[in-house]
Structure 1
């Protein structure tokens, strides 16, 4: 029997048209149903988490709510025979932090169908430095490789390169030997991106010409696009024959103006990256790759660590476009983390 009197969580509440967030004391009885009760050791802050903390963010439907689309922790109780007390697990995506109480809490009760046992060679801390952003970046890299885009075929463009997904993609691709061209609107981050492995850094303005041609000069063997919008139109028109473009973001807009020519004359692939409902088979495969070949040497310098109480301040930075890299949240202490 688990005896937990009370614990802390970041709770988002609504009053009229106002949405506020703050640390609240919770009990196990406050948590939704699920086969696993997990002591959360680490989480991370993503753009979707920031949207969950504001009015009109279009993430949270019912209040009060605990955000946090990522968590890594220790199983305290399980009604699923595949998991046992003491197992270290991680969860990203599914309903976590969207329609089911998430990882910004010292304890979480979740569906066992969402949990991945922490692979050997990866700590809970490292899993959350990656988090949804790293998982999304790895899915993108996997799609480029599955599409036959090899390191000797030319440069790979990464847009939104200082963000969570972008910075992870830069580091992963560089480790695999690709020539990475990083695009950003933050010129002052050029040195940081070069340290991550970028061979060249360009301004995002270079990807939004006044007029986008149906087919432009062939520049990129492939691309990891975290931005979308008008720049994606240009990327498609300037991707080399047989290239792959993996799209995972829409900060540049949700609309896409293009023609069929890049697809039928150059045979390029435009692949949507969905990290939320990816199959468990794919998840396990990707997380295993993140223990070794996709694990950047600089992983432990690619994050800022904060406490649960500091999340609201980070949310504001993310919404203002001031965030860089990954923000790790230390939720609770546990020996060996």
Structure 2
């Protein structure tokens, strides 16, 4: 039995309160493995779930966010994981169905766990988080569609943090020419450091002409924004292109023409890195630990303590962050 800190979101007389409280490991739900969390991260998903009126969150109050965690096994009923093993959890219900990585201990089923791969530190793994997994799966979908690199043009919607930032880096590493769309041109230099060949503001990219088909500039796209950006992307890609849709930072809806899908054979692929298969998640992670290891991780990582989570959730909800926010439970 151990006492530990948790960042909790709760309701008090109709008001939403976010606070750091003391908890006890005996109050954690049943599970195969008890893990001491060393690092977590504020993902795009955590930001969406923390909004009061979002359709994304299924939690009831109170709950402990943090869809990802990296830590050390301290108790185990599993035949696969033993005390002292360094392990990772990406989604699967962490921070939704059970208390998440914003607490210093979690207890989960063994099927949710992935061993920390050679080539990644715990800090690296949480700099990536489920956002990095989503970006990797998005690139895997583009490649699976037969869209080869060869300096082909790819468009990424949203690129200053989270999934979009990782998508820019992975695509550039793989040899694609990346055009990045951002609302925040003050992050332009940062996005070029990630590997973009061109950076466009949302206003310069989005098209409100009403045309069903625009010039087909791009062989593929990855979008994290939704709304008018996704609409313009659909109308701007070449025949047979794949667009991976993995975020809704600006809007949870979009309106577009069906003609690009019909006349150009455009494929829209939804990306869910939280509840996708364990094998797909593991494949993406091991690519990120190997050929797709990103040297940009070091300058993307910004560490905070558990006591700073509320401040940074607010900043991320207002798009005031670039790079990645990693929660270091040792601070």
**Root mean square deviation, CA, Å:** 1.6
Of the three residues 26, 29, 53, the one matched with 1:29 is 26
Q: Distance in 2 between matches of 1:22 and 1:322?
A: 21
Deviates more, 1:167-176 or 1:47-56: 47-56
| 2:62 counterpart of 1:42 | no
- 2:88 — aligned with what? 90
Alignment of 1:283-322 (within 5 A): 283-322=281-320
- 1:11 — aligned with what? 8
Q: What secondary structure sits across from 1:89 in the alignment?
A: strand
Unaligned runs of 5+ in 2: none
- 2:325 — aligned with what? 327
| 2:93 counterpart of 1:99 | no
Alignment of 1:65-144 (within 5 A): 65-144=63-142
Unaligned runs of 5+ in 1: none
- 1:165 — aligned with what? 163
Quote how far apart the aligned CAs of 1:152 are: 1.9
Deviates more, 1:203-212 or 1:308-317: 203-212
Maintained 8 Å contact 1:40/1:332: no
Aligned length: 330
- 1:177 — aligned with what? 175
Q: What secondary structure sits across from 1:234 in the alignment?
A: helix
Alignment of 1:221-240 (within 5 A): 221-240=219-238
Quote how far apart the aligned CAs of 1:181 are: 0.6
Deviates more, 1:36-45 or 1:53-62: 53-62
Maintained 8 Å contact 1:212/1:234: no
Q: Distance in 2 between matches of 1:268 and 1:60?
A: 31
Alignment of 1:198-237 (within 5 A): 198-237=196-235
Q: What secondary structure sits across from 1:168 in the alignment?
A: helix
Post-superposition CA distance 1:66-85 (Å, at most 9, x none): 11111011111111211111
Alignment of 1:142-157 (within 5 A): 142-152=140-150, 154-157=152-155
| 2:267 counterpart of 1:269 | yes
CA, structure 1 residues 331+199, in 2 after alignment: closer, same or farther (shift >3 Å)? Answer: same
Quote how far apart the aligned CAs of 1:60 are: 5.3
Of the three residues 192, 195, 203, the one matched with 1:194 is 192
CA, structure 1 residues 268+306, in 2 after alignment: closer, same or farther (shift >3 Å)? Answer: same
Maintained 8 Å contact 2:157/2:230: no
